[in-house]
């Protein structure tokens, strides 16, 4: 259900939901093992107090407010409160180093910095002299009682100040909100990027309103839906799902305790809509494979047969030729086996699920749809307010990211680059007009940097333009296609294909630690550390077989001739991956230059 409120600014939409939904639960968060509820009425009061508190601190229209912390109700209240006061929200990834925090706060010229807890305060104290007067407000005081600093204060004090301001000057807050224009800025999203300094993408109220309406017209959501929030809110993807879509539709948002408790929280909440990145979807499959390998022979056989029937059913249905006996066999397989798999991962109530923020293999979507999870792909980027194309629920097409959402035009340039025009296109990069002009050219066309194709109205993504490999023989190769096939192996977590300007393709491979550990234990292969596993000849042979299986599905020029197993896990803080687990290709190629040279004999 799309809310039809006539809104000029995002806070209009939010407060109309507060009035409409009142005592219905808006947010849930878990403390000390208990799920706590916040109603829409309470949510609205929190947002008003934050907005009033910011005005009491002297926030002016257009001023920036930064938010640093994990997903929790305070994040959303500060986000929407900033917008309500006419300010611009700037999220910071909770894994950011002090230097990265300093860059975002200073570059955005933020007046206020909300921080979560003692861990984040420690980072801020390292750089506070360089923050140019930004006021720091702490949500969680645990471990900080008695701490005193002229630039730091606690959220409880700030909210009390906001309440006093509301009582005395509430009309001024109302006037401030009503003065916001549709094209005024609502938030900056600093792109995590795979290279260079992050860029501050400027997104307006109009961008948000129009794109959330288009998004939910393709993937319907209502106030009866339950969402789970766990990806970083500083990223456009989670912001779109947990804040913008939820406000548009009135859906309830549940916050996970942390990434480690995601599987448990998923089972507790059993959301009706769940959005995640490919790595998490792949991990769920791996976990099921591990559990099945430890089960009885009968259960293993039932599992394999049920998935096989499910895959046949999905392929036949997509082709439009599904015989009665296959439909019957699928119903038996679903209620006998596959439904219980969905319950195992907390998805028995799922109406639809979304995979986005990075490329994923068609095999991944086939598997989930076979077990009864309507996994759909979405495509977008920060500069498009998170949305360009979405796979329709009633017309999926494997290998494609869907159709452009209503109101968005997509064209393919002569060099294959995807160009986008519409109300989703951002307002440019903060303090970088030159790059803005390169990214949004004449006619309002956004240059996405992705190479793709349009076929029967469906969009296919081939790769990032800068990542296309041109071999020494002049062949164009899209490494993401090969990498996604490799990553669907239960024993491979990530892969980076190399070969630009070279005679053949090679790959750097990160093993899936859980599954390879299990394989080593089952086959009595001795090891003590992660690096031991990657050097063991039996493990290398295991991965060799997986690579050979993928090579059989590829054209000869696309096959991986050599590979090396990486001796360490990927860490976000070391620059290996982005906060949404997207591999930083250039960083890894630089880090492992010796392994690459070894494969090419140089």
Do 481 and 452 form a contact (C-beta atoms < 8 A)? Answer: no
- What is the model's pLDDT at position 262? 92
Do 82 and 50 form a contact (C-beta atoms < 8 A)? Answer: yes
Separation of alpha carbons 405 and 422, rounded Å: 10
Please give the domain boundaries of the chain with CATH numbers for all domains.
10-260 (3.40.50.12780), 275-465 (3.40.50.12780), 468-599 (3.30.300.30)
**Residue spans of the chain under pLDDT 50:** 1-2, 194
pTM score = 0.85
Dihedral sign (CA 301, 306, 307, 309): positive
- Provide the 10 A C-beta neighbour count for residue 364: 21
Dihedral sign (CA 319, 321, 326, 331): positive
Question: Going by DSSP bridges, is the β-strand pair 375-379/352-355 parallel, antiparallel, or unpaired?
Answer: parallel
Give, in degrees to the nearest 5, the angle at Cα 399 between 396 and 400. Answer: 60
Residue 380, both tokens: 């977008």
- What is the model's pLDDT at position 5? 56
Closest among 518, 525, 519, 529 to 569, alpha carbons compared: 529
Bridge partners of 115?
Answer: 68, 138
Bridge partners of 565?
Answer: 509
* C-alpha to C-alpha distances, 92 to 183, 408, 458, nearest whole angstrom: 23, 29, 34
Separation of alpha carbons 65 and 110, rounded Å: 5
Name the region of 527 (left: φ>0; alpha: ψ -120 to 50; beta: rest): beta
**HEC assignment per residue over 154-197:** EHHHHHHHHHHHHHHHHHHHHHHHHCCCCCCEEEEEECCCCCCC
Bridge partners of 452?
Answer: 461
Separation of alpha carbons 99 and 275, rounded Å: 30
- What is the model's pLDDT at position 579? 74
Coil vs helix vs strand at 350? coil
* Residue tagged 């000057």 (tokens): 169
Closest among 547, 542, 355, 378 to 459, alpha carbons compared: 378
**HEC assignment per residue over 513-560:** HHHHHHHHHHCCCCCCCHHHHHHCHHHHHHHHHHHHHHHCCCCHHHCE
Separation of alpha carbons 426 and 439, rounded Å: 10
Closest among 581, 579, 583, 586 to 191, alpha carbons compared: 579
Q: How far apart are the first and last CA of the chain?
A: 60
DSSP summary character for residue 557? G
DSSP summary character for residue 582? -
CA dihedral 397, 401, 404, 410 (to 10 degrees): -120
Separation of alpha carbons 68 and 118, rounded Å: 12
List CB contacts of 167: < 8 A, sequence separation 6 or more.
none
- Provide the 10 A C-beta neighbour count for residue 580: 22
What is the chain's length? 602
pLDDT tens-digit series, residues 456-506: 999 998 888 888 888 777 778 888 889 888 988 889 999 999 988 888 999
- What is the model's pLDDT at position 1? 47
């Amino acid at each position: 259900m799309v809310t039809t409120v006539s809104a000029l600014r995002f806070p209009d939409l939010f407060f109309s939901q507060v009035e409409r939904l009142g005592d219905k639960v808006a947010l849930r968060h878990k403390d000390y093992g208990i799920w706590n509820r916040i109603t829409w009425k309470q949510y609205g009061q929190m947002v008003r107090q934050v907005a009033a508190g910011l005005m009491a601190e002297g926030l002016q229209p257009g001023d920036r407010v930064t938010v640093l912390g994990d997903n929790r109700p305070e994040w959303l209240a500060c986000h929407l409160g900033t917008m309500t006061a006419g300010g611009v929200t700037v999220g910071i990834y909770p894994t950011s180093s002090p230097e990265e925090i300093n860059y975002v706060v200073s570059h955005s010229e933020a007046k206020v910095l909300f921080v979560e807890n003692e861990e984040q305060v420690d980072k801020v104290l390292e750089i506070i002299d360089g923050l140019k007067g930004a006021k720091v407000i702490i949500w969680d005081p645990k471990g900080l009682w008695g701490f005193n600093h002229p630039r730091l204060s606690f959220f409880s004090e700030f909210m009390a100040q906001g309440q006093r301001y509301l009582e005395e000057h509430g009309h001024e807050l109302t006037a401030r909100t009503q003065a916001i224009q549709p094209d005024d800025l609502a938030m900056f999203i600093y792109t995590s990027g795979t290279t260079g300094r992050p860029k501050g993408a400027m997104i307006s109220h109009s961008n948000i309103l129009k794109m959330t309406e288009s998004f939910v017209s393709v993937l319907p959501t209502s106030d009866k839906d339950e969402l789970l929030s766990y990806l970083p809110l500083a990223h456009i993807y989670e912001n779109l799902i947990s804040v913008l879509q939820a406000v548009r539709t009135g859906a309830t948002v549940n916050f996970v305790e942390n990434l480690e408790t995601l599987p448990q929280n998923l089972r507790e909440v059993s959301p009706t809509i769940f959005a995640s990145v490919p790595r998490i979807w792949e991990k769920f499959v791996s976990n099921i494979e591990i559990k099945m390998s430890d089960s009885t022979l009968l259960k293993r056989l039932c599992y394999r047969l049920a998935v096989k029937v499910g895959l046949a059913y999905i392929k036949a249905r997509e082709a439009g030729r599904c015989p009665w006996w296959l439909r019957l066999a699928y119903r038996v397989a679903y209620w006998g086996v596959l439904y219980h798999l969905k319950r195992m991962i907390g998805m028995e109530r799922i109406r639809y699920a979304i995979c986005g923020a990075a490329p994923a293999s068609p095999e991944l979507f086939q598997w989930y749809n076979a077990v009864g999870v309507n996994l759909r792909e979405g495509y977008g980027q920060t500069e498009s307010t998170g949305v360009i194309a979405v796979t329709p629920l009633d017309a999926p097409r494997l290998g494609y990211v869907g159709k452009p959402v209503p109101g968005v035009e997509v064209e393919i340039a002569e060099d294959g680059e995807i160009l986008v025009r519409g109300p989703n296109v951002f307002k440019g990069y903060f303090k970088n007009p030159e790059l803005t002009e390169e990214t949004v050219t004449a006619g309002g066309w956004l240059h996405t940097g992705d190479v793709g194709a349009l076929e029967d109205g469906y969009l296919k993504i081939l790769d990032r333009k800068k990542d296309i490999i041109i071999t020494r023989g002049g062949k164009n190769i899209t490494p993401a296609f090969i990498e996604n096939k490799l990553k669907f192996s239960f024993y491979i977590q990530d892969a980076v294909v190399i070969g630009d300007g070279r005679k053949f393709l090679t790959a750097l491979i990160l093993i899936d630690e859980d599954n390879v550990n299990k394989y080593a234990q089952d086959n009595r292969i001795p090891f003590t550390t992660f690096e031991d596993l990657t050097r063991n000849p039996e493990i290398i042979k295991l991965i060799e077989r997986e690579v050979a299986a993928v090579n059989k599905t590829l054209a000869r020029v696309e096959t991986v001739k050599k590979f090396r197993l990486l001796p360490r896990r990927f860490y976000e803080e070391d620059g290996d991956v982005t906060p949404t687990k997207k591999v930083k290709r250039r960083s890894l190629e630089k880090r492992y230059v010796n392994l690459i040279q070894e494969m090419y004999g140089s």
